[in-house]
């Protein structure tokens, strides 16, 4: 009689951020969460700032939000409604859609012919008190707090500018100014338990000076994500593996800690490399511990990402698919004159028009890069 070796789930997300339900795999940031809670409690506004790849979104998803649910902000209690979104090219509509998706109006009677998103967007556009009005309209249970998370706030600067076009003379656009005012106005009404959290790349901090009051609020509420200590890096690697039921050699652990070094923006590359190392170890039968040989087989941190991308690209079957792939990644990345690059979210139909392909022609190209084991394109 033989028994099959159970398949262990890969405990590393790869290139994408940790989701809130993956808190049990998130290690090495505990002391940072405590400081974030203190700052948010004092100001009702928190700007989580860091270079690309420092884990800002993961820190909010698996650190801050679960901590609030557990009651670590003693002055606020444990009852929270949380709404999270990215601004994209239409930040007010994105925020309205997020409120609708979060079910804020499920118990309300909607005027005939109007969706929850339309009601939310109309409310937000009526005045700078839009968030306060939505809070009132939702009739939340007494003692309930609202946490609004604006992920990748820098999209407001780059993606919004691209949407307006190079000939626009409006520095930030009326919607962008209205959007920022909506975020700041609840601070003038502290009796409302509304808390705002932004995540933003630090190299866009200077752009905030284009808005009234935002620089002052950012100065009081900014949390610059610190780099992990050596012990925290070890925990971020070893603890998820232990939780998932695996083990790794001491030599590999030391190698990984050394390879990620002191540079904070290497965390996403590290997560990708150990994700690939685990996958290789499983492909080889999940025997013994994860070893240096598994890590080197996927290219180490120096080459794992390039080799993985090449692997995906080589799965495309025709020259036409490869050309479309090139156009897709150029369309989804906004590069400024200073060489900073950020994601440029785009609806599928719009992307089809931009790259000149029919939906049934483009979809197979995207699927190659969206499979769970890759996450080069989101959503998976």
Q: What is the per-residue pLDDT for 113?
A: 63
- 129 versus 165: which is more confidently predicted? 129
For helices 214-221 and 174-184, the axis angle rounded to 10 degrees is 40
Q: Which two tokens stand for residue 88?
A: 């994209």
What are the pLDDT digits (tens) for 147-200?
999 999 998 987 655 554 444 444 456 899 999 999 999 999 999 999 999 999
Residue 347 burial class via C-beta count within 10 angstroms: exposed 0-12, middle 13-18, buried 19 and up: exposed
Residue 262: band (very low, low, confident or very high) from pLDDT cuts 50, 70, 90: confident
Q: What is the per-residue pLDDT for 62?
A: 96
Q: Is 222 in contact with 196 (CB distance < 8 Å)?
A: no
Give the pLDDT mean for 232-236: 94
Residue 22 confidence (pLDDT) above 70: yes
- Model pTM? 0.86
Residue 294: band (very low, low, confident or very high) from pLDDT cuts 50, 70, 90: very high
CA dihedral 24, 49, 255, 281 (to 10 degrees): 40
For helices 300-314 and 267-283, the axis angle rounded to 10 degrees is 70
Q: Single out the residue of 89, 88, 86 nearest to residue 164, CA to CA.
A: 89
H/E stretch holding 199: strand 194-201
Q: What is the per-residue pLDDT for 337?
A: 47
Q: What is the per-residue pLDDT for 1?
A: 39
Q: What is the per-residue pLDDT for 161?
A: 55
Residue 222: band (very low, low, confident or very high) from pLDDT cuts 50, 70, 90: very high
Q: What is the per-residue pLDDT for 372?
A: 84
Residue 327 confidence (pLDDT) above 70: yes
Residue 30: band (very low, low, confident or very high) from pLDDT cuts 50, 70, 90: confident
Kindly report the average pLDDT of the chain as a whole number: 89
What does DSSP say about strands 145-150 and 333-335: parallel, antiparallel, or unpaired?
unpaired
Count of C-beta atoms within a 10 Å radius of residue 221: 21
CA 238 from chain centre, in angstroms, equals: 23
For helices 348-355 and 359-370, the axis angle rounded to 10 degrees is 110
């Amino acid at each position: 009689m033989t028994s099959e070796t159970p398949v262990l789930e890969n405990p590393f997300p790869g290139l994408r951020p940790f989701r809130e339900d993956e808190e049990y795999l998130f290690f090495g940031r505990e002391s940072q969460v405590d400081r974030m809670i203190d700052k948010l409690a004092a100001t009702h506004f928190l700007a989580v700032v860091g270079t690309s790849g420092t884990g800002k979104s993961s820190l909010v998803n698996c650190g801050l939000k679960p901590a609030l649910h557990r009651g670590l902000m003693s002055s606020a209690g444990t009852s929270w409604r949380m709404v999270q979104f990215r601004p994209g090219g239409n930040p007010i509509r994105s925020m309205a859609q997020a409120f609708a998706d979060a079910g804020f109006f499920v118990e309300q009677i909607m005027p005939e012919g109007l969706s929850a998103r339309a009601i939310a967007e109309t409310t937000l556009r009526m005045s700078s008190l839009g968030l306060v009005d939505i809070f009132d309209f939702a009739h939340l249970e007494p003692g309930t707090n609202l946490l609004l998370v604006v992920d990748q706030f820098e999209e407001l600067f780059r993606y919004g500018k691209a949407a307006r076009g190079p000939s626009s003379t409006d520095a930030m656009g009326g919607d962008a100014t209205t959007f920022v005012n909506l975020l700041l106005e609840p601070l003038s009404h502290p009796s409302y338990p509304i808390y705002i959290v932004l995540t933003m790349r630090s190299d866009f901090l200077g752009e905030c000076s284009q808005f009234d009051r935002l620089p002052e609020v950012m100065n009081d509420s900014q949390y610059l994500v610190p780099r992990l200590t050596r012990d925290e890096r070890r925990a971020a690697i070893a603890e998820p593996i232990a939780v998932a039921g695996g083990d790794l050699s001491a030599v590999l652990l030391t190698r990984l800690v050394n390879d990620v070094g002191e540079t904070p923006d290497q965390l996403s590359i590290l997560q990708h490399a150990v994700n690939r190392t685990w996958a290789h170890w499983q492909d080889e039968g999940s025997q013994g511990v994860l070893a240096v040989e598994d890590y080197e087989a996927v290219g180490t941190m120096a080459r794992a990402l390039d080799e993985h991308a090449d692997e995906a690209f080589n799965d495309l079957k025709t020259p036409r698919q490869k050309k479309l792939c090139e156009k897709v990644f150029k369309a989804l990345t906004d590069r400024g004159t200073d060489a900073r690059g950020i994601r440029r979210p785009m609806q599928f139909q719009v992307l089809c028009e931009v790259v000149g392909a029919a939906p049934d022609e483009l979809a197979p190209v995207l699927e190659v890069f969206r499979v769970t084991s890759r996450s080069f394109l989101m959503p998976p």
